[in-house]
Amino acid sequence: MKGILLKDLYECVCIRKNQLNWIATIALVLILTFVFRTTYVFLLNVMITAPLAGSCAYQFPMEQDEIVNFSKIQMTYPITKKEFILERFLLTLGFIGVSGVFSLILTMVYTYGYRLAALSATLPVWGMGICFALIFFSVSNVFYLGLGVKAGTVLFILLILAAAFGYVLTAVNFGVQTLLYMDKTFWLLILFAGAVLCLIASYLISVKIYEAKHA
C-alpha cells in the first residue's frame, strides 16, 4: 500500500497541471485574505475555500489511473481492494490535514493580525470548515468512483457551486456577523458526528463500488 500511496502523492503534487491547480488555489485564498479583511471573506476562506481544496486530492490520481487504465495493473499488486480504497482515503485525509493547517494559519491572521474577532469566535469556524471538508469528500468520492472521472468532475463542480450558493444564502439570511458570533458549539458537534459517520459510510460504499467494478 505504501507504493500506491507514494504514486498517488507524486501525481497530486508533481504533475504540472496539478501543481498549477494548487498554486492557483493558494494564490486566490492569499489574495482574498490580504485584500479583503472582512468577516465575509474570512468565513469564505476558512470555512469553505481552504478546507475544500484538500478534499479534492483524490481526484488527481483517479484521473491518471483512468488515462493509463491503472486498475488492471493494480490488480496484479499484493494489495486488496479494501486496502486500495483505504489508501485513497488516507491520501485525501492527509491533504485535508494540510489544508486544515493552512486554514488555521489564516484564522490566526484574521484573529491576531486583523483583530476581526476573538479566538473563541474564529476557532469554531475553522473546526466547522474541517468538518465540511470531510463531509464533502465523503459524498463526492462516492459519486466520483461510481460515475467515473468525467461525470464525477461535473458533479464535483455542481457540489462546489451548491456549497457556495448555500454559503451566500446563509450569509444573506442570517448575516455574516451573526454567523461569526453565534454560539457554534452545538453545530460543531453535529458536524463532527456527521463527518465521522459520512467517512465510515463513504468508505464502505466505495469498497462495494470498487469491488463491483473490478470483480
DSSP string, 146-199: HH-HHHHHHHHHHHHHHHHHHHHHHHHHH-HHHHHHS--HHHHHHHHHHHHHHH
pLDDT, tens digit, for every residue of 66-85?
Answer: 777 776 677 677 778 888 88
Which cell is 51 given? 478546507
Domain ranges of the chain: 2-213
Q: What's the pLDDT band for 153 if we cut at 50, 70, 90?
A: confident
Which is higher by pLDDT, 9 or 131?
131
Determine what percent of the chain is predicted with pLDDT higher than 90. 36
pLDDT, tens digit, for every residue of 5-57?
Answer: 888 888 888 888 888 989 998 999 999 999 988 888 898 899 888 888 888 88
Q: What angle do CA 35, 40, 46 make, to 5 degrees?
A: 85
